[in-house]
């Protein structure tokens, strides 16, 4: 899963129907790796395929197993620096059920989460990793960490 962020700090989200929940959910672009593809290559490809937006830089935030007691799948979290865009620049992958997109500030994100319009655990974990990284980069150094 890749968190696309503009230089002004807006997040690009896509809206997709998820059959197991029978709901449309706001998500970050994500997908599976093709044979022989690295997680980083997959992140670049999925972002471009699902949104038509090309990242200027992508960085691994970390990897996790969201439900270790149920499945052993490993998910990789990335942050992608993308150019300053408008929604007119987004070209959604409609054949994959992606029906809408939006650009949100951090505050607007928090409201969306509070309204439970975001319910995917992988997505929330990726966002937590990104916000944690931001916090650690801006925090004063502490000797106990």
Look at the alpha carbons of 69, 118, 85, 97 in this order and tell me if their dihedral is positive or negative. Answer: positive
Give residue-wise pLDDT tens across range 39-58: 999 999 999 999 999 999 99
Return the structure tokens found at 101. 């997109």
For residue 116, the model assigns a pLDDT of 84
Q: What was the pLDDT predicted at 90? A: 95
Per residue in 98-120, pLDDT (tens digit) is 999 999 999 998 998 898 878 78
**pTM, 2 dp:** 0.87
26's enclosing H/E stretch is strand 23-27
Residue 67 neighbours by CB under 8 Å, 6+ apart: 121
Which domains, and CATH codes, for the chain?
2-138 (3.90.79.10)
Cα separation, 19 vs 24, whole angstroms:
9
Name which residue leads in pLDDT, 83 or 73. Answer: 83
């Amino acid at each position: 899963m890749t968190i696309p962020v503009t230089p002004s700090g807006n997040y690009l989200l896509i809206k997709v129907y998820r059959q197991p929940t029978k709901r449309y959910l706001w998500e970050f672009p994500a997908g599976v790796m093709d044979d022989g593809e690295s997680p980083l290559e997959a992140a670049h490809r999925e972002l471009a395929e699902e949104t038509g937006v090309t990242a200027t830089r992508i960085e691994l935030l970390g990897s996790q197993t969201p439900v270790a007691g149920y499945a052993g799948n490993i998910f990789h979290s990335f942050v992608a620096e993308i150019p300053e865009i408008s929604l007119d620049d987004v070209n959604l992958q409609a054949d994959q059920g992606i029906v809408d997109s939006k650009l949100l500030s951090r505050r607007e994100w928090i409201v969306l989460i509070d309204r439970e319009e975001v319910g995917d655990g992988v997505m929330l974990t990726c966002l937590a990793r990104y916000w944690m990284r931001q916090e650690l980069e801006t925090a004063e150094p502490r000797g106990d960490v």
